[in-house]
Amino acid sequence: MSKRAELISVHNVTREYAMPAADLTVLKGVNFSLAVGDFAFIVGRSGSGKSTLLHLLGGLDQPTSGKILFEGEDMTEMSEKDLARVRNRRMGLVFQFYHLLPELTLFENVLLPSLIAGKANPKWAKECLRKVKLSSRSGHFPSELSGGEKQRAAMARALVNRPSLVLCDEPTGNLDSETAESVVSLMEDLNEKDGVAFVVVTHDETLAARHPDVYRLKDGSLEKQALMPRGKAAERS
């Protein structure tokens, strides 16, 4: 079986923030790589730097030192315009608080990134809604959706430009355990059937333990975690 191409790689990345007393080092020489079609969880305590790392992977922030390559391109050398283009056309981002526009219907929210990219495809937007089982809610506004539906809507929006990578920041943080399970199962199905790679930041180690690729962020360092996979990951092993 041929080795899959590298999708994103982090090389000796450090992130420091200037503080009045002394600089705060959040990430210390982090190295990480993800191949096409991979699925990885990043776990760690609140404040450990998980979101900081995810923002760096998405080009929403820049490292103090080190390099981040996405599909072979150095994101640390890109302009803000080029980074925005990469996020819009080649990545999908799913945040804990959804960021759906309240004045737009669910369908309009999902279609929006493709409009911004200049390649609007209403038929595909409807298919993305079907994938997340929200076809019947396409005409509703975010205020009319449950928390789980909003999270699935955010997932559909992240998929509309057919990204190779989706970054998720605590996607189950505001959901009950049953709804959280359905959201993670959705991500696994998209990974298995459509080949979308995922990096999921979470504090929920029970959910993360269902996959073999789990990384722990502690004291600014990222290490591969030896966990016994459960659920779908165990079935695939």
Q: Which of 194, 195, 190, 235 lies closest to 211, judged by CA?
A: 235
Instruction: Tell me what pLDDT residue 227 has.
Output: 52
Instruction: Tell me what pLDDT residue 200 has.
Output: 93
pLDDT in tens, 93-142: 998 777 899 999 999 999 999 999 888 889 999 999 988 889 999 999 99
pLDDT classification of 73: cutoffs 50, 70, 90: very high
The Cα 48–Cα 100 span in angstroms is 27
98 DSSP 8-state letter: -
pLDDT in tens, 149-192: 998 899 899 989 989 999 999 888 777 888 788 888 888 888 99
The Cα 220–Cα 114 span in angstroms is 36
- Count helices and strands (H / E) in the chain: 8, 10
Tell me the pairing of strands 165-169 and 197-202: parallel
pLDDT classification of 233: cutoffs 50, 70, 90: very low
Q: Decide yes or no: CATH 3.90.320.10 for domain 6-90+163-236.
A: no
- For 80, list phi and psi in degrees, rounded to 5: -60, -35
Instruction: Tell me what pLDDT residue 71 has.
Output: 93
Q: Per-domain residue ranges for the chain?
A: 6-90+163-236, 99-157
pLDDT in tens, 30-59: 999 999 999 999 998 888 899 999 999 999
